[in-house]
Chains A and B, each alone.
Chain A
Amino acid sequence: MKITVRQLTLCAVLAALALALSYMESFFPLALLVPLPGVKLGLANIVTLYALYALGFPSALSILLVRCTLGALFAGNLSALLFSLLGGVSALLVMALLSRAKKLSIFGVSVAGAAAHNCGQVCAAMITLGSSAPLYYLPFLLLVSLFTGALSGLVTAFLFRAMAHTPYGKEN
Chain B
Amino acid sequence: MKKQLAALLLTILCALSLPGCGEAVPSGEARTVYAMDTVMNLTVYGENAASALEGAEKELHTLDEAVLSRTAEGSELAALNAAGGETVHYAADDALPALIQTALAISDAANGAFDPTLAPVLDAWGFTKDERRVPSADELSSLLSRTGRDKVTLTEDADGWTVTLLDGAQLDLGGIAKGYAADLLRAQLAAEGVASATLDLGGDVFVMGKKSDGSDWRVAVKDPADTDSYLGILTASDKFIVTSGVYERYFEENGVRYHHIIDPATGCPAESGLVSVTVVCENGAWADALSTACFVLGTDGALDLRASLAAQGTDFELILVTDDGRVRYTGGLAPIFTPNEESGYSYEALS
Contacts and interface: CB of A to CB of B under 8 A. Distances in A.
Given A132-B18, A135-B18, A101 B1 contact: yes
Interface stretch (B7-15, B114-122, B201-209, B253-261): B7-15
A97 B21 CA distance: 32
A135 B20 contact: yes
Contacts of A104: 2
Contacts of B21: 132
A17 B5 CA distance: 30
Nearest to A138: B17
Interface of B: 1-2, 5, 8-9, 12-13, 16-21
A115 B13 CA distance: 9
A142 to B, nearest CB: 9
A135 B2 contact: no
A150 B22 CA distance: 35
B20 A103 contact: no
A43 interface: no
Contacts of A126: 18
A18 interface: no
Interface string A91-106: 0001001101111100
A97 B5 contact: yes
A132 B2 contact: no
B10 to A, nearest CB: 10
Nearest to B21: A132
Interface residues of A, number: 19
A150 B244 CA distance: 69
26 contacts: A94-B9, A97-B5, A97-B8, A97-B9, A98-B5, A98-B9, A101-B1, A101-B2, A101-B5, A102-B2, A103-B2, A104-B2, A112-B9, A115-B13, A116-B12, A119-B13, A119-B16, A123-B16, A126-B18, A132-B19, A132-B20, A132-B21, A135-B17, A135-B18, A135-B20, A138-B17
Contacts of A94: 9, 12-13
Contacts of B17: 135, 138
A126 B18 CA distance: 10
Contacts of B2: 101-104
Nearest to A115: B13
Nearest to A99: B5
Contacts of B16: 119-120, 122-123
B239 to A, nearest CB: 41
Nearest to B4: A101
Q: Lowest 6 A-B CB distances belong to which pairs?
A: A101-B2, A103-B2, A119-B16, A101-B5, A132-B20, A132-B18
Contacts of A112: 9
A25 to B, nearest CB: 23
Given A97-B5, A97-B8, A101-B2, A116 B13 contact: yes
Contacts of A135: 17-18, 20
Nearest to A135: B20
A73 B342 CA distance: 63
Nearest to B5: A101
Nearest to B18: A132
Contacts of A138: 17
Nearest to B17: A135
Contacts of B1: 101
A94 B13 CA distance: 9
B164 to A, nearest CB: 61
Contacts of B20: 132, 135
B195 to A, nearest CB: 37
Interface in A113-165: 115-116, 119-120, 122-123, 126, 132, 135, 138
B167 to A, nearest CB: 62
A135 B21 CA distance: 10
Contacts of B12: 94, 116
Nearest to A120: B16
A100 B1 CA distance: 9
B12 to A, nearest CB: 7
Nearest to B12: A94
